[in-house]
Every structure is written in C-alpha cells, then in structure tokens.
Amino acid sequence: MPGKAIKLIIPLGVLIAAILLAMLMVGSREELKPGNAAQPVPLVQAVAVTLSEVPITIVAYGNVTSRYELDLASEVTGRVVWVAPEFEPGEIVAAGTVLLRIDPVNYQLALAQARAALATANIALADAKALKRQAAIGEGELNIEAARQRIVKAEQDLAYTEIKAPFAAVIDKQIAEPGQFLSTGQPVARLLSSEIAQVTLPLTPSEAGFVELSIGTPVMLRAQIGEQQQQWQGTLARVEARVDQQSRVTPVVVEVKSPYDTSVHPHRLPLGLFVEAMLPGRPVRAAVRLPGSVLHADDSVFVVADNVLQRKRVNVIHREGDNVVINGGLESGDKVVTTRLELMFEGMKVELSDG
C-alpha cells in the first residue's frame, strides 16, 4: 500500500510544480503594449478635369488605289512587231506613250486602196458633170462620200496599230509579248492611273457622325516605311451616301494628286501601300480627353473627394487610340484617378500622390 501511494504522489507533485512554474513565468512576463494594426492608405494619382471644347481626330486605315483602272485591249488584228522597253510591270509611263506596235502592212494597204477609190470616184463624178448626167452625178457624189469614210476608217485602223497609254499610268500587268498574234478586243495590258490616287477609309457610324467636312478639306496620310515615317497631303473627295451591308461601315474617299511626283510630295506614294489617315472631325463641347486606362466596368471612373473614392458613370463619346473623350458624368474640378489598384471600391480611403 505505501508503495502505491508513493507512485501516485510523485506524478501529482510534478504536476503541481509545473503549474506553479507556469504561473510564475506568466506573472513575471512584461506587459505587451497595444499596437496599431491599421492598414496603410494606398497612394493614387489623379488628374483634374477641365471641361472645354475638345477637337476630334478620326484615325482610319486603308490601301492606296488608283482612281482609274483600265484593261487595255487591241482594236485591230495583227502580230506584235515591237514592244517598248518601259512596257514592264511596275513601270510608270506618260500619257500617249507607245507601248507596242502591230504589223501595219495590211492597214497601210487598206488606206492606199481607200485613197485610190476616192480618186476614181472623183474622176467618175467629173465625167458625169461634163456629160450633164444627173443620175450619174448623184451616184458619183455618194461614191465620193463613201470613199472618204473608208479613208477615215483606214487611217483610224492604221493609228490603232500603235497601242498607246491613254493616260499617265503604272503598268500593273503586261499581257502581250513580241511576236504574239492579237485579235480585236484582246487584252494587252492592265493600267493603273498615276495621276490621282485614292484611299477608301471605312468609318463606323459613330466615327462618320463626326465627319462633317466639305469637299477639298486637307487630310494627312502617313505610313511607316523602314525607320522613317512618311507623310502625304490628300484632300477629302467624298463621303459615300451608303453603308456597306457586309461590314456596316461608311466609306470615305480621300484623293492624292500626282502621287509619284516628288516636286509635289516629299516622297512617292506607291499604289497598294497601307496608310493611316488623320481626318479632322467636329469638336465636342463641354468635354475632356483622358487616358483610356481610367475607365472601369460599365464606363465608370473613380474620382477622389476628401481622400475618399467615389465612382461615377460617364458618357464616352469617342475613342482615340489610348485616349477617350468624355462629355457627360464629370464636372470641372473633379479629380479622376489614373492609378489602377487591385481593389477599388466606393468609399475607399486613399491618399493623393504628389507625383
């Protein structure tokens, strides 16, 4: 019995000693001072709003094309006996340049025969007048007129043996070759006019609504070529009175005169080049231009008032690249937050950054 009592007393004594030691340690611990657990207030940047008249620039893109395109065809039959050295794809030719010649022998013969027929008709008419034969006189006059018309036709056919460029052009396709036999109406080349280039710009309905310009309004075209950005001055030719059924855009046409003349433009404007156009648009009153990054869901922005965020719905009337034009929902003096935080909500406390 005494042994069992000892076995019970020893663990109980250890437990009591441990409790006393723990109480001693807790009593001797230095009292913790209350700390500040408040989260730091995030810094944000903001831009002050000043409502005013904001000029609008419509940026659109399109390919440079020729105003006139022509499939040049032969108007007579014969074999090609000569081709101009500049009759090659991509070459620029002046108006009236002879591109190729067709064998003219048959047409020279036809012209000589028509002239001979006219001489014969004149002799016949003279004989009829000398004999005072009225019926023969009338017939002779008709024969002379017919002979004259045959001469006109023969001269025209002979002229057609030289196929010329009807206007200043870029040769897009060369179809006829030396020695080739051509039939009347057979294509020999495709020409693109180099006198006037045009760019068709597709505008959305909202963009087209800003374009209220008169014909001849200057329009700047530009393109990045290598390391250099080149520019050309064009003019507004027309705003088409239709909406494309496929793309639902309104075509706006800009023209550039003498696109290959470096005395008119600093650089040549080659056909087929993809360019950017800057169209001046109707200005917007009581508006402000801001970075597009200030917009949040549902076209809303955050403004700062007394270091507290407020959410405002705005009306975005136009988008220009990385910027937006807002003409509703803001007032002059509003400070629009340009900083994007991971979490932003109405009533959130922030601090404006001096930067």
Tokens 């869901």 found at: 297
- Contact in structure between 288 and 325 (CB atoms under 8 Å): yes
Residue 206 and residue 183 in one domain: no
Instruction: Check residue 320 and give its pLDDT.
Output: 85
Instruction: Name which residue leads in pLDDT, 208 or 86.
Output: 86
Is 6 contained in some domain?
A: no
Asked whether the predicted pLDDT for residue 160 surpasses 90, the reply is: yes
Q: CB burial class (10 A; 0-12, 13-18, 19+) of residue 7?
A: exposed
Per-residue pLDDT of 208-220, as tens digits, reads 888 776 788 899 9
Residue 214 and residue 327 in one domain: no
Is 312 contained in some domain?
A: yes
**Mean pLDDT, to the nearest integer, of 181-202?**
96
Residue 113 and residue 165 in one domain: yes
Question: Per-residue DSSP letters for 151-218?
Answer: HHHHHHHHHHTEEE-SSSEEEEEE---TT-EE-TT-EEEEEEESSEEEEEEEE-HHHHTT----TT-E
Tokens 């006393």 found at: 20
Residue 170 and residue 79 in one domain: yes
Count of helix runs (H) and strand runs (E) in the chain? 4, 22
**Mean pLDDT, to the nearest integer, of 115-128?**
89
- Contact in structure between 312 and 303 (CB atoms under 8 Å): yes
- Contact in structure between 297 and 260 (CB atoms under 8 Å): no
**Mean pLDDT, to the nearest integer, of 80-94?**
96
Instruction: Name which residue leads in pLDDT, 297 or 252.
Output: 252
Residue 245 and residue 275 in one domain: yes
How far, in Å, CA of 132 to CA of 2, rounded? 182
**In DSSP terms, which residues pair with 26 in a beta bridge?**
none
Q: How many domains does the chain have?
A: 3
How far, in Å, CA of 302 to CA of 308, rounded? 10
Per-residue pLDDT of 220-265, as tens digits, reads 999 999 889 999 999 999 888 888 888 889 899 999 999 999 999 9
Residue-range definition of the domain harbouring residue 252 = 59-66+194-282
How far, in Å, CA of 217 to CA of 55, rounded? 16
Asked whether the predicted pLDDT for residue 35 surpasses 60, the reply is: no
How far, in Å, CA of 354 to CA of 13, rounded? 68
Averaged confidence pLDDT in the chain:
89
Instruction: Check residue 3 and give its pLDDT.
Output: 58
Measure Cα distances from 315 to 242, 300, 302, 327, 345 in Å.
28, 9, 14, 6, 20
Instruction: Check residue 132 and give its pLDDT.
Output: 74
Helix-strand-coil percent breakdown of the chain, rounded to 5? 25, 40, 35
Asked whether the predicted pLDDT for residue 355 surpasses 90, the reply is: no
Is 19 contained in some domain?
A: no
Measure Cα distances from 340 to 7, 43, 44, 110, 199 in Å.
71, 11, 8, 86, 39
- CA 35 from centroid of its chain's CA atoms: 63
Residue 122 and residue 145 in one domain: yes
**Mean pLDDT, to the nearest integer, of 279-305?**
92
Residue 104 and residue 171 in one domain: yes
Confidence of residue 95 (pLDDT cuts 50, 70, 90): very high
**Mean pLDDT, to the nearest integer, of 119-130?**
86
Confidence of residue 34 (pLDDT cuts 50, 70, 90): low
Is 294 contained in some domain?
A: yes
Q: Give 273's Cβ-side CA count (13 Å radius).
A: 21
